[in-house]
Structure 1
Amino acid sequence: MMSHSTIALTGFITWTLLLLVLMEAIRAQLVLRGKVPPNGFTPDNAGLSPFMQRLARAHANCIESLPVFGGLLMLAIATDRTAVTDPLAYALLAARLFQSLVHLASVGPRAVTIRFAAFAVQMAIGVYWAFEMLAAD
C-alpha cells in the first residue's frame, strides 16, 4: 500500500502533467484552426487569451515548486521517514491544487491574496518537514 506521501507526490506530478496536457490541447486546437502558427507560442503564452497566460503561470508554478516540495516527499520516501511527511502530505497537495485553481480563475487582487495564502501553507509545511527531517534519527 502506498503511503500518503507517495500518493501526494504522485498527485502533485499528475496535476502538473494535467495542466501541461490542457495547455497543449488548447495550443493544438489553436494551430489546427489556423489561429496561431505552430512556432507562434511563447513559454508564457503571451499574445493568447488571459486564461492561457494564467494556465502557463499555474503550470510554471508547479514546475518551480515540484523540486522543493516533491524533493522533500521523495527524501522522506527514500529514507523511510514518511512518518514525518504523511500527516500533512494531503494538505500540501490540496494547497497546491487550490493555488492552481485560483490562479486559473483570476489574477485580481483578492485572488492573488488567496493564492499566496495557499502557497504560504505549502511553504510552512515544507519548512516544517525540512526541520523534522533534519531532526529525525
Structure 2
Amino acid sequence: MTPTLTALTGFIAWTLALLVLMEALRSKLVLAKQVKANAFRPDNANLSPFMQRLARAHANCLEGLPIFGGLMLVAALAGRSAVTDPLAYALLGARVVQSLLHLSSLSATAVTLRFLAFTVQMAIAVYWAVRLLAA
C-alpha cells in the first residue's frame, strides 16, 4: 500500500478506536447500572468531562474524514498519490496528536496545541487540494 492509503487506513482505524473506547466505557456504565442504556446523549453531555471530550474527539475525526480522507482517496484513485504520499503520515500524526490532546485536557495550553495540530492538517489539505487541482 502507498503511504497515502496506509495513512487513510490509519485515520479510519483511529476514528474506530475512539468509537470502540467510547462504547466500551458506555457499556461499563450500563453494566454497573450507573447509566441507563437509553440515557446516553450523542455528545455525552450527561457524563464525565473525559467522556464529553472523547465524544468530541471522535466527532472531530468524523468531521475531518471527508476532507482529509477524501483528498487522499482522490489522489489514490487518480494515480496521483505522489502528491499526498510525502505528507500523509504527517497528517495522520497531527490527527492523532489533536485527539490525544483533546482527551487529555481543556487547559489553554492543550487547546492551543490542539489547534496547532489541526492547523497542520488544514495546511496539508490546502496544499494537497491545490496540487491535485493544478494538474
CA positional deviation for 1:19: 0.1
Paired AA for residue 24 in structure 1: E
Taking structure 2 as the reference length, what is the TM-score of the superposition?
0.99
Corresponding position of 2:119: 120
Aligned residues: 135
Per-residue deviation, 1:47:
1.6
Q: Distance in 2 between matches of 1:78 and 1:43?
A: 34
SS at match of 1:44: coil
What does residue 83 of structure 1 align with? 82
Q: Please say if 1:12 is aligned against 2:11.
A: yes
Q: Distance in 2 between matches of 1:67 and 1:129?
A: 14
Deviation at 1:89, TM superposition (A): 0.2
- State the distance in 1 between where 2:93 and 2:36 align: 36
CA distance in 1, matches of 2:77, 2:12: 17
Q: Secondary structure at the match of 1:98?
A: helix
Q: Deviations over 1:75-111 (max 9, x none)?
A: 0011110000000000000000000000000011111
Residue 17 of structure 2 aligns to a residue in which SS?
helix
Residue identity opposite 1:53 in structure 2: Q
**Amino acid in the other structure paired with 1:88:** L
Q: Structure 2 matches for 1:1-137, cutoff 5 A?
A: 2-136=1-135
Separation of aligned partners in 2, 1:23 and 1:91: 25
Q: Secondary structure at the match of 2:26?
A: helix
- Residue by residue over 1:51-90, the C-alpha shift from the partner in whole angstroms, topping out at 9 and shown as x without a partner, is 1000000000000000000000000011110000000000
Paired AA for residue 82 in structure 2: A
- Partner letter of residue 26 of structure 2? R
CA distance in 1, matches of 2:21, 2:104: 15
Distance in 1 between residues matched to 2:105 and 2:63, nearest whole Å: 20
C-alpha RMSD over aligned residues: 0.4
Q: Which whole-Å CA distance do the structure 2 matches of 1:106 and 1:44 have between them?
A: 17
Paired with 1:31 and 1:77, the residues of 2 have a C-alpha distance of 42
Gaps of 5+ in 1: none
Distance in 2, matches of 1:75 and 1:102, equals: 29
TM-score by length of 1: 0.98
Distance across 1 between alignment mates of 2:64 and 2:110: 19
